[in-house]
Amino acid sequence: MSRRSPGRLALAGVWFACCLASSWGCGSGASRPTAPTTPAVDLSRTDTPLGLSAERYLLQLIGNDLSEDPALPPCRPIVVPRGGKFVTTFLWFRWEGDELVGRSRPPYAATLEIRLRRVSSSILGVVVDGTVTGAAPDEYDRIMGQRDTTFSAEGDTVALSGLVSPRIRDDALGPTLTGWMRGPIAFRDAAGAVSMCTNAHYYLEPARPGGPHDDPTVPPFVPAR
């Protein structure tokens, strides 16, 4: 039996280990691949549009009775009106110049006018500001029914700030908008009870006809088109 030299065995072991450990091979023609270039990520997303389409939007307005945030003090007095500080109505938006303007349409009776302007954008969404004028009685609640509560912006000094959520591809709902209204705000009822606030939270989401917000048992009802 022939005996292989230790040197040849060691050399073969090195060659075998090289071929196992290396991702670029041990052949004479192999070359080490270059690392992929990391694509630049633009965190500012300055090209993100303010994407609220021309359709019906559900708007909810909520006043605070309890708050420990000095920047968002509670309304006074609390527990007034008896129907609560929670108002729901519907708005439609359209472009007027560089502003996106939301207003009510029949059969809804709100006189609200919300004017939105795009401020900036990031991967979190589009930052907006704007103004709020007018009033909105509670016009819809799928669970509690309509409330004897009306929201009103007192004067022309109620400011709005918020964030439009980034739209996910193939998202059937579409972008939502949440934020705060700040300024002289009132929640009142038909008997004249009124609570004054310096802030109110709002939530806006698409409410397409025929969707979950078209409940024929809760008037007013907008039929599907």
Give the torsion sign (CA, 16, 18, 21, 25).
Answer: negative
**Of 160, 141, 159, 161, whose CA–CA distance to 149 is shortest?**
141
pLDDT tens digit sequence for 172-192: 667 789 999 999 999 999 999
Closest CA to 225 of 105, 115, 51: 105
Distance CA 180, CA 164 (A): 12
Lowest mean pLDDT among 40-54, 96-110, 115-129, 150-164: 40-54
Q: What pLDDT is recorded for position 132?
A: 97
Cα–Cα distance for residue pair 201/67, rounded to 1 Å: 12
Domain spans in the chain, listed from the N-terminal domain onward: 56-206
Q: Mean pLDDT, the chain, as a whole number?
A: 78
Identify the three-state secondary structure at position 198: strand
Q: State the average pLDDT over residues 163-171.
A: 72
**Across 131-150, average pLDDT:** 87
pTM of the model: 0.74
Degrees (nearest 5) of the Cα angle 104, 107, 111? 30
